Amino acid sequence: MLVRDLVDAFLSWCGRHRAPATLRFYRARLRLFCEQFAARDAASLTSLELDAYLHGAGANASDSTRHHNAIALSVLQSFALRESLLDKPWFNRLEKPRIGRRERIPTAEEIAVLLKGASPAFRLIYTGLSQSGARPGELCRAQISNVDWTKGTITLPQHKTARKTGKPRVIPIGKNFGNTLQKAINRRQIGPIFRSPKGRAWTIENLSGTHRRLRDAAGLPKDLVLYLARHRFGTEALRAGVPLKDVADLMGHASVTTTEIYLHRDVTELAGKQDRVPELGTPDVDRGLAAEKTDDPAAA
């Protein structure tokens, strides 16, 4: 089987059994792989060839992109072996860069600079992300028909953790987020909640690309990525005293363990808590230090 036929079979399977966003992810991550090896017999690929491919495809890319490229190849190999399209694996393991934890959140100044040159359409969806804690892909997919104003919710049957939880993603609509939704929807009855400047539904690729262009044009740091709008929501919610379980539900986390990454520790605050531990109450220590100073030849 040729590589292009294997990739086509995998993407067709994804189209039948996975969410559209998942299909788009694998199509994007495997595009260069298919272009480079399209006419090769899939069984002839070697581990070193794939390692070299990943190295080249990841040049000048972020750790996240390189990690996802490797994940896509791993999943493709698992599919091929499971469906008997390969007799043996290409590799036993791939070197995947770790995706670092996002330890920063955008400052108010950075957000103001970012949005200064943005279109009204981008400002609306970015504001919605900051107010709701929703994933970018969730607000890209959300339709007007998913909104229940009576219950104050947006309900998405297809979402990132649907297979794990077996439940729809329910995004609460608070007062501020509700105002943003009303501005985005206006008098429309159908279609996506948030539309791009061209009047179509945003895609995660288009939204991320727009954010990246605005960031670079404003001279903001490269680590200021779109997902940090959601990260900021989680961090600020916890700082405001919202219980951990409530923040997990607001953000659609399947486990509070995921939510705990937003518990950024202030070292200065921890130092103050360190002083809450009762002292040993050993004045002899001070006397011993005083004696050492007296005996110090340099002090003579």
CATH number of domain containing 121: 1.10.443.10
The total of structural domains in the chain comes to 2
Cβ pair 50, 90 in contact under 8 A: yes
Using alpha carbons only, give the angle 20, 144, 108 rounded to the nearest 5 degrees: 85
Q: Is residue 119 domain-resident?
A: yes
Q: In a 10 Å sphere around its CB, with 0-12 CB exposed, 13-18 middle and 19+ buried, how is residue 294 labelled?
A: exposed
What tens-digit pLDDT sequence spans the chain (300 residues)? 999 999 999 999 999 998 887 898 899 999 999 999 999 999 999 999 999 999 998 887 777 788 889 999 999 999 999 999 999 999 998 877 665 555 678 999 999 999 999 999 999 999 999 999 999 999 999 999 999 999 999 999 865 555 555 678 899 999 999 999 999 999 999 999 999 999 999 998 899 999 999 999 999 988 888 989 988 998 899 889 999 899 898 988 878 877 777 776 555 665 666 777 777 765 555 555 555 555 555 544
What is the spatial distance between Cα 181 and Cα 173, in angstroms, rounded to a whole number? 9
Clarify whether residues 59 and 139 are in a common domain: no
> What's the whole-model pTM score?
0.67
Q: Which of 36, 47, 34 is nearest to 6 (CA)?
A: 34
Q: Is residue 58 domain-resident?
A: yes
User: First-to-last CA distance in the chain?
Assistant: 86
Clarify whether residues 157 and 192 are in a common domain: yes
Clarify whether residues 162 and 205 are in a common domain: yes
Clarify whether residues 74 and 128 are in a common domain: no
Q: Which domain holds residue 41?
A: 3-82
Task: Please tell me the predicted confidence (pLDDT) of residue 96.
Answer: 72
Clarify whether residues 15 and 145 are in a common domain: no
CA distances from 273 to 3, 235, 260, 268 (A): 58, 20, 20, 9
CATH number of the domain where residue 72 is located:
1.10.150
H or E segment and range at residue 154? strand 153-156
Cβ pair 153, 144 in contact under 8 A: no
Clarify whether residues 144 and 39 are in a common domain: no
Task: Please tell me the predicted confidence (pLDDT) of residue 110.
Answer: 95
Clarify whether residues 49 and 155 are in a common domain: no
Q: What is the DSSP string of 82-141?
A: HTTS-SS-S-S---------------HHHHHHHHHTS-HHHHHHHHHHHHH---HHHHHH
Clarify whether residues 112 and 75 are in a common domain: no
Q: Is residue 12 domain-resident?
A: yes
Q: Which of 68, 112, 73 is nearest to 93 (CA)?
A: 73
Q: Is residue 250 domain-resident?
A: yes
Residue 3's DSSP bridge partners are none
Neighbouring C-beta atoms of residue 183, cutoff 10 Å: 13
Clarify whether residues 130 and 222 are in a common domain: yes
DSSP code of 182? Answer: H
Q: Is 172 helix (H, G, I), strand (E, B) or coil?
A: strand
Residue 58: half-sphere exposure toward Cβ, Cα within 13 Å: 19
Backbone angles phi, psi at 41, to 5 degrees: -70, 125
Q: Is residue 215 domain-resident?
A: yes
Q: Is residue 71 domain-resident?
A: yes
Task: Please tell me the predicted confidence (pLDDT) of residue 281.
Answer: 62
Clarify whether residues 122 and 257 are in a common domain: yes
Strands 147-148 and 169-172: unpaired
